[in-house]
Amino acid sequence: MSDYLESKTFCPYPWISVMTQPTGTVSWCCVARDNFKNDDGSMVDLNRGHKIESVWNSNHMKKIRKEMVEGEIVKGCEHCYDLEDMGFPSYRTNYIRDWFEYSGKGDEIHDIIESSINNDYHVDTAPMYLDFRLGNMCNLKCRMCQPQNSSQIQKEYSKIEANDPSSAQFIKDNFTWGQFVDNLTNWEDDPDFLRQVEEWLPGVVKLYFTGGEPTIIERVYWIMEKCVELGIAKDIELVFNSNMTNIQPRFLNLVEQFKNVLMCVSVDAYGHENEYIRGASHWKQVEKNLRKYCASDVIGTLLFSPVIQIYNVLTITKLLDFIESLEIEYGREIFVTFLICDYPTSLDFRNCPDQVREVAAERLEQWLKTSKVLVNRPENVQSINATVKALKENRKDNWRQELITFQKYTNLLDKNRGDDMKEALPELWELMYGN
């Protein structure tokens, strides 16, 4: 393989992937902190009638490809650089592994990259990976989420804005990338968008759906049904990121016609603690659905991907214990990778006071010593060890101010939702505010 694989900034995604945000912006990766720009510097926006195909060989995309091959820092890829600095497996390194080692497409991707280098970074083939967030329809309002990813949060923040403008401005400044997303259209229903998706589908090898909650978004079903209609479903892998609150029979009937299904489980804690973090969820239903997936031969792989944040860093081992019990009971491998909440910045666990950091780190270290099955796979252990390391060694420079913001935000949500952090997370509350 070529030298670009050794570059600390290289990632295969600009050569294989297109991603839509629920807001109608388009990017090359789900964690990129930038979106595609037109030549005049304006944002590509599907709400404004821009065409998704315009990004594939745009000047912005070709610039990104060139920078990655030449080892330059890419604007928008900061999250992966930060994860690697902390010792976490980054999305970038995982993507290199998954696509060059596991997908069976490594040689083909290599040829695409080499051909583009000799063609002003223009890629002649269609994307083989589509990552779609088809609107923000969601049934939950998770504390680390934003209105662009949840229609329930959008409604909640609109209500706060109407009744308490100063609190709304505080949320807008610190928790929403600066906007409440009140200009969304049903861009996912645009005939030109659907036409382009249908044209791309025969070359696709993997489809990723999240949202919102993808199992309740109709256009997700439309795309899956189109794959079945075209006779290509059996050649496509599906990846879903689901909050486990909803399983429809038609969903299982459709996904079983595809090559493989990876279910990423968006659950952040065990029991009532998960209900507090992921507002409007009910643990009884979540556990029922988790067990249904564990017992199913339709779902190929289960991957728990909790978002590690101040709210759950102290008690995440309870969820790990539960995951381990599921693996033992159902006799199937279950994978775990921690997602780091670096936005909203005040929820980042690296802001925790020392007493919380010390207990959380010690608890994770002890859990690794007593784990029966999850500890036997490096994929599960790496992000846990990196979390311990970050708890011991990493501290946000402005962590005291961030904790003030965290407390104000928590109190505001608790008041509006009828929640109580002291009741829901008593140990965390005591360590942070009890003295």
* pLDDT tens readout for residues 252-269: 999 999 999 999 999 999
Beta strands in 117-272 (DSSP E): 129-133, 141-142, 206-210, 237-242, 260-265
pLDDT above 70 as % of the chain: 99
Amino acid at 192: D
- What tokens appear for 221 in the block? 């079903």
* pLDDT band per the 50, 70, 90 thresholds, residue 81: very high
DSSP secondary structure, 179-237, as one string: --------GGG-HHHHHHHHHHGGG-SEEEEESS-GGG-HHHHHHHHHHHHTT-GGG-E
Q: What is the pLDDT of residues 355-382, one digit of tens each?
A: 999 999 999 999 999 999 999 999 899 9
Q: What would the two tokens of residue 307 be?
A: 């978002």
The CA-to-CA distance between both ends of the chain, in Å, stands at: 58
| 427 to 139, 291, 422, 430, 431: CA distances (angstroms) | 28, 28, 8, 5, 6
Digit-coded pLDDT (tens) for 56-67: 999 999 999 999
Q: What is the pLDDT of residue 341?
A: 95
380, amino acid identity? N
Q: For 276-298, b where at least 16 C-beta lie within 10 A, e where not — what string?
A: bbbbbbebeebbebbeebbebeb
* Cβ-contact 419, 413 below 8 angstroms: yes
Across 11-28, average pLDDT: 95
Question: Helix crossing, 399-417 with 165-175: angle to 10°?
Answer: 130
Task: Give the C-alpha separation, 280 to 431, whole Å.
Answer: 26
Span 334-341, mean pLDDT?
94
User: Which residue from 69, 17, 70, 21 is spatially nearest to 46, judged by alpha carbons?
Assistant: 21
What average pLDDT does this structure show over 104-122? Answer: 96
pLDDT at residue number 1: 47
HSE (side-chain half, CA atoms, 13 Å) at 156: 27
- CA–CA dist 48, 71 (Å, integer): 34
Mean pLDDT calculated for residue range 111-131 = 97
Q: Can you state the angle between helices 283-295 and 316-330, rounded to 10 degrees? A: 40
Answer whether 340's CB lies under 8 Å from 305's CB. Answer: no
Q: Which two tokens stand for residue 111?
A: 């040829």
The C-alpha atoms of residue 285 and residue 295 are separated, in whole angstroms, by 15
Residue 263 token pair: 């279910």
Q: Which amino acid is at 36?
A: F
Q: pLDDT above 90 covers what percent of the chain? A: 92
**Spatial distance between the Cα atoms of 374 and 324, rounded to a whole number of angstroms:** 6
Q: Does an H or E element contain 301, and which? A: strand 301-304
Cα separation, 249 vs 252, in Å, equals 5
Structure token pair of residue 394: 């990493």
**HEC per residue, 170-187:** HHHHHHCCCCCCCCCCCH
Q: Is the pTM of this model over 0.85?
A: yes
**pLDDT for 17:** 97
Span 84-105, mean pLDDT? 92
Q: What is the pLDDT of residues 142-188, one digit of tens each?
A: 999 999 999 999 999 999 999 999 999 999 999 997 777 777 889 99
Which of 4-8, 111-115, 224-228, 238-242 is predicted least confidently?
4-8
